Homo-oligomer: A and B are copies of this chain.
């Protein structure tokens, strides 16, 4: 069920553009409310109100609450995958590219705090089924390939691929959470973020580089 604007099937639209305004409004409202109140405490009626839409309208676009979450989760994962690859230059040395990827995800999360928190919530909640979760792993694939090359060429240490990717993701997420906390507490000096970011990135590189 998806009555979004159609284009030729050869130009794959991504993320946001695939959805109508109302659809996006509903999804954005969902994120905003859920990160503050939790899934268990945000009723569809409130989502509708926050989105400026009638309750029934949500059911025009989504079959129910579960699908709403799944579609939203998928959209965010796709955006993440796109952000990951930004400005990648394959001619650069391996660890430069690694740092580019790391920074890309970091920036995406820092610039999209609500999306970040919502994903963090979903990642560990049974509201997203294992199937949906596995399906959206594909957005990561280029990153996994990149890591795999590093392992094979002994630039990266001998660690199971999935463990390594999870480790790196954790490093980024942890850093983002830390920075956000410091920003909220307003204890972050002007260019301290830059220093911390570099320390965290270096630390992450040290944890996966060949040793």
From residue 167 to 211 of chain A, which have CB atoms closer than 8 A to chain B? 167, 170-171, 173-175, 177-178, 181, 196, 199-200, 202-204, 206-208, 211
A167 contacts B174, CB within 8 Å?
yes
CA distance A202 to B163 in the complex (A): 13
**How many copies of this chain are found per oligomer?**
2
A175 touches B196 (CB 8 A): no
> Which residue of chain B has its CB nearest to the CB of A124?
B120
Contacts of A202 in B (CB 8 A): 211
Q: Which residue of B lies closest to A199 (CB)?
A: B159
CB distance from A105 to the nearest CB of B (A): 15
Binding site secondary structure of chain A: helix
Contacts of A158 in B (CB 8 A): 199
- Indicate if A40 sits at the interface (CB-CB under 8 A): yes
Contact of A208 among B117, B175, B203 (CB under 8 A): B203
Check A163 against B200 for contact (C-beta < 8 Å).
yes
Complex alpha-carbon distance, A159 and B208, angstroms? 18
Smallest Cβ-Cβ distance to A179: which chain B residue: B163
A sample of 24 inter-chain contacts (CB < 8 A) reads A35-B126, A38-B39, A38-B126, A39-B39, A40-B40, A41-B126, A41-B127, A120-B124, A125-B125, A158-B199, A159-B196, A160-B178, A160-B196, A162-B178, A162-B181, A163-B175, A166-B174, A166-B178, A167-B203, A170-B170, A170-B174, A203-B208, A204-B207, A206-B206
